[in-house]
Amino acid sequence: MSTEQAEPPFAIVMNAGSGASDKDSTRAQIAAVLDDAGRTHRFFLVDDPSRMDAVAREAVAWVRDNDGAVVAAGGDGTINCVASAAWEADVPMGVLPQGTFNFFGRTHNIPADARAATQALLAAHTHDAQIGLVNDRVFLVNASLGLYPEVLQDRELWKQRFGRHRIVALWSGLVTMLKRRRSLHVDISDGERSRTLKTPTLVVGNNALQLELIGIPEASQVHRNEGTLAGIMLRPIGRRTMLGLILRGALGKLGDAENVVTFAFRNITVTPKRSNKPIKVAIDGEIVWLAPPLTFRCAPRPLRLLAESTRLPGEDPG
């Protein structure tokens, strides 16, 4: 009697709006590779972003019924949404990155090309991937408040006008960051100590590659996948200093700047001093409003990620 088990079928959640590739062509490439390999699969297409959560849950339910794996085909926002559903249900997840920067895919050596990524998926094994939580909302790359969510919101408007390209995203970010913004006035506590601070922005990073690229020393601790996140704060600064920080970030030296505070942590709570209203938070490039206080921490268990290999510190598959 044969003891071989059938390869798990794939439920592919595909964001039709992610990236610059034609959605029909991309879907055809993915399907062709899977058909050639004889792998059972089903597409769950998302044409309306407001239905992303619902479609991801439908795909995960199908995976549980068929003992399969859910696959996210899209940008960081799509991957986040599918990861949230996969983590909650504790099912394996693969990624076919189709977005602008693809930090999560690059971190796990997953190609940006649809055909190559699908071939890699067929050869993948399950790895533990650390995920972050902010008030129990999953983030894979980063979560932030203050200036950075404004950068992302303006970037989306620029993309709608000029296209989804990295140069558009970078230029729109430069314009937004040079505008005058009010600083956040917050208490930050790790459970033992509390500090009151003013800062234009707070970014919490869970992606070692992104942190390495801008020169944050805590990237090495995040890379270990042992429950550590990295915090980045700016001291109140003017436009000229902000421009200097942008240049430092582009050169991979942001962590060396005297107006930048970075720190590693496992759990912090951020409480606004002046308001109890919901706070605008960017989670993996998507804007949400969360009720304060905001608690940032690593999830108690990892995401079961399908990948061929893990990236070494300093590597960037691009």
pLDDT of 179 reads: 60
Q: Is the pLDDT of residue 112 over 60?
A: yes
Mean pLDDT of 43-61: 94
Kindly list the structural domains of the chain, giving each domain's residue range(s) and its CATH number in brackets, ordered by start: 10-130+302-307 (3.40.50.10330), 137-147+181-298 (2.60.200.40)
Q: Give residue 168's pLDDT band: very low, low, confident or very high (50, 70, 90).
A: very low
Q: Is the pLDDT of residue 92 over 90?
A: yes
Half-sphere exposure of 243 (CA within 13 A, CB side): 5
| Range in 45-54, 175-184, 217-226 the model is least confident about | 175-184
C-alpha span between 254 and 239 (Å, rounded) = 16
C-alpha span between 168 and 158 (Å, rounded) = 7
Report how far apart the first and last C-alpha atoms of the chain are (Å, whole number). 45
Tens digits of per-residue pLDDT, 282-310?
Answer: 999 888 999 999 999 999 999 999 998 77
Helices vs strands, H then E, count in the chain:
10, 18
Q: What tokens appear for 22 in the block?
A: 């034609």
Q: Give residue 20's pLDDT band: very low, low, confident or very high (50, 70, 90).
A: very low
Q: Give residue 274's pLDDT band: very low, low, confident or very high (50, 70, 90).
A: confident
* Percent of the chain scoring above 90 in pLDDT: 60
| Residue 163: count of CB within 10 angstroms of its CB | 10
* Percent of the chain scoring above 70 in pLDDT: 78
Q: Is the pLDDT of residue 1 over 70?
A: no
Contact 85, 63 (CB under 8 A): no
Tens digits of per-residue pLDDT, 202-241?
Answer: 999 999 999 999 999 999 999 999 999 999 998 876 666 6
C-alpha span between 259 and 281 (Å, rounded) = 22
> Which helix (H) or strand (E) segment is 58 a member of?
helix 52-66
pLDDT of 153 reads: 60
Q: Which three-class secondary structure state does DSSP give residue 205?
A: strand
pLDDT of 98 reads: 86
pLDDT of 296 reads: 98
Does 276 or 129 have the greater pLDDT score? 129
Q: Is the pLDDT of residue 192 over 70?
A: yes
Q: Which residue has the tokens 């899209």?
A: 74
Q: Is the preceding peptide bond at 8 cis, omega within 30 degrees of 0?
A: no
Q: Give residue 82's pLDDT band: very low, low, confident or very high (50, 70, 90).
A: very high
Do you know the residue count of the chain?
A: 318
Secondary structure of 147-206 in the HEC alphabet?
A: HHHHHHHHHHHHHHHHCCCHHHHHHHHHHHHCCCCCCEEEEEECCCCEEEEEECEEEEEC
pLDDT of 70 reads: 98
Beta bridge partners of 282: 144, 287
pLDDT of 158 reads: 42
pLDDT of 175 reads: 47
Q: Give residue 193's pLDDT band: very low, low, confident or very high (50, 70, 90).
A: very high
**Strand ranges for 16-134 from DSSP E:** 41-46, 69-74, 93-97, 125-129, 132-134
The answer to whether the predicted template modeling score (pTM) of the entire model surpasses 0.75 is yes
Does 316 or 265 have the greater pLDDT score? 265
pLDDT of 317 reads: 60
Q: Is the pLDDT of residue 271 over 90?
A: yes
pLDDT of 5 reads: 53
